[in-house]
Amino acid sequence: MDAAAVERSDAPSGPTTQRPCKARSRISAACVRCQKRKIRCDGAVPACGACRKAGANCVGGGASRDIPRGYVHDLEARIAWLESIVREHVPSVDLGAGPHYQSHGTPSRGPKDSTLSHPQPDDGASDAYSPEDESLSDITHQIGLVSVTSGTDLRYLGPSSGLFFTKFVLAGLGRRIQVEKQYSPDPVKDSLSIPADLLVVRPQDLPSDKRHARWLSQAYFETVHLQFPFLHGPSYFDILEKLYDGVEVGPTCEFQVFMVLAIGATILARRAKIPLCAEGYYASAMTRLDGIFQKASFTGVQCVLLLQTYAMNNPSSGLSLWSLHYHCLAWTIELGLQRNAPGNLFSVPQQELRTRVFWCVYTIDRALCTLMGRPLGLMDEQCDLRLPLNIDDKDLDSSQTKSGHGDDSLTDMSSAIHLFKLARLNSEIKCVLYCVGRQYPPYTRPATSDIVRWKEDILNRLRKWKEEIPRHPEGSERSGINHLCEIKYHELIMLVLRPNPVFQNPTQAALRECFASAMQCSKLYHELYAANTLHYSWIGVHSLFLCVITMFYCVWTPGGVADEVDVDTLMRALKSTSDILSATGEYWPEARRSRDVLDRISTATVSRFTTKFCETQSGTVNPRPPPTPPISANLGFEQATEVPDVDFISPPDFQALQFGNGSFGTGYMSPVYETQADSFTTTDMLSYFMGSGGDGNMNNAQMMGGYYPSVDEVMQNFFANGFRDLGEIQ
Give pLDDT, residue 33: 85
282, exposed or middle or buried, with CB in 10 Å at 0-12, 13-18, 19+? buried
Report residue 538's pLDDT band, with 50, 70 and 90 as the boundaries.
Answer: confident
Taking residues 327-352, report their average pLDDT: 89
Is 672 a residue whose pLDDT tops 60? no
Q: Reply yes or no on whether the pLDDT at 239 is more than 80.
A: yes
Contact 562, 634 (CB under 8 A): no
User: Which among 354-368, 472-486, 656-670 has the top mean pLDDT?
Assistant: 354-368
pLDDT in tens, 706-724: 333 333 443 444 344 333 3
- CB count in 10 Å sphere of residue 292: 20
Q: What is the mean pLDDT of the chain?
A: 71
Phi, psi of 143 (to 5 degrees): -125, -10
- Phi, psi (degrees; rounded to nearest 5) at 622: -65, 130
- Residue type at position 104: H
Residue 117 φ then ψ, to 5°: -105, -25
**Number of neighbouring beta carbons within 10 Å of residue 299:** 14
Among 187-201, 239-253, 396-410, 556-570, name the most confident range. Answer: 239-253
Mean pLDDT on 379-391? 91
- pLDDT bucket at 496, cuts 50 / 70 / 90: very high
Among 58-72, 163-177, 641-655, the range of highest mean pLDDT = 58-72
Residue 406 has pLDDT above 60, yes or no: no
Q: Where are the domains of the chain?
A: 32-88, 205-394+410-433, 498-615
Comparing CA positions, the residue from 579, 577, 568 lying closest to residue 651 is 568
Quick one: pLDDT at residue 66? 57
- CB 412: neighbour CB atoms within 10 A? 20
Instruction: Tell me the mean pLDDT in the region 214-224.
Output: 95
Hey, which CATH number is domain 32-88, 4.10.240.10, 3.40.50.1000, 3.30.1050.10, 3.40.50.12280? Answer: 4.10.240.10
- Residue 228: the pLDDT is 97
In angstroms, the first-to-last Cα distance of the chain is 37
Task: Give the pLDDT band (50/70/90) at residue 274.
Answer: confident
Report d(CA 167, CA 174) in Å as an integer.
10
Helix (H, G, I), strand (E, B) or coil at 141: helix
**Whether residue 522 has pLDDT greater than 70:** yes
- Give the mean pLDDT of 646-663: 31
CA distance linking residue 209 with residue 207, whole number of Å: 5
Residue with the larger pLDDT of the pair 379 and 645: 379
Contact 698, 657 (CB under 8 A): yes
Tell me how many degrees the CA angle 595-483-570 measures, rounded to the nearest 5.
45
Indicate if the pLDDT at residue 149 is higher than 70: no
What is the number of residues in the chain? 730
For 40-54, 146-160, 295-309, 622-636, which range has the lowest pLDDT when averaged over its residues?
A: 622-636
- Which pLDDT score is estimated for 528? 93
Under the banding of pLDDT at 50, 70 and 90, the label for residue 426 is: very high
Confidence of residue 219 (pLDDT cuts 50, 70, 90): very high
pLDDT of residue 367: 94
Q: 26 vs 598, which has greater pLDDT?
A: 598
665 band by pLDDT with thresholds 50, 70 and 90: very low
pLDDT tier at 188, thresholds 50, 70, 90: very low
The mean pLDDT of 161-170, rounded to a whole number, is: 54
Tell me the Ramachandran region of residue 123: left when phi exceeds 0, alpha when psi lies from -120 to 50, beta otherwise. Answer: beta
Which among 131-135, 150-154, 158-162, 308-312 has the top mean pLDDT? 308-312
Q: In terms of Cα–Cα distance, which of 541, 535, 480, 527 is closest to 264?
A: 535
pLDDT of residue 402: 57
pLDDT at residue 660, rounded to an integer: 30
Q: How confident is the model at residue 60 (pLDDT cuts 50, 70, 90)?
A: confident
Q: Do residues 34 and 48 touch, judged by C-beta distance below 8 A?
A: yes
Please state, in angstroms and rounded to a whole number, the distance separating the CA atoms of residues 307 and 321. Answer: 8
In this prediction, what percent of the chain has a pLDDT beyond 90? 30
Identify whether the C-beta of residue 682 lies closer than 8 Å to the C-beta of residue 145.
yes
Question: What's the pLDDT band for 69 if we cut at 50, 70, 90?
Answer: low
The mean per-residue pLDDT over the stretch 672-678 comes to 32
pLDDT score recorded for residue 184? 41
The whole-number pLDDT of residue 70 equals 66
pLDDT for 44 equals 84
| pLDDT over threshold 60, residue 205 | yes
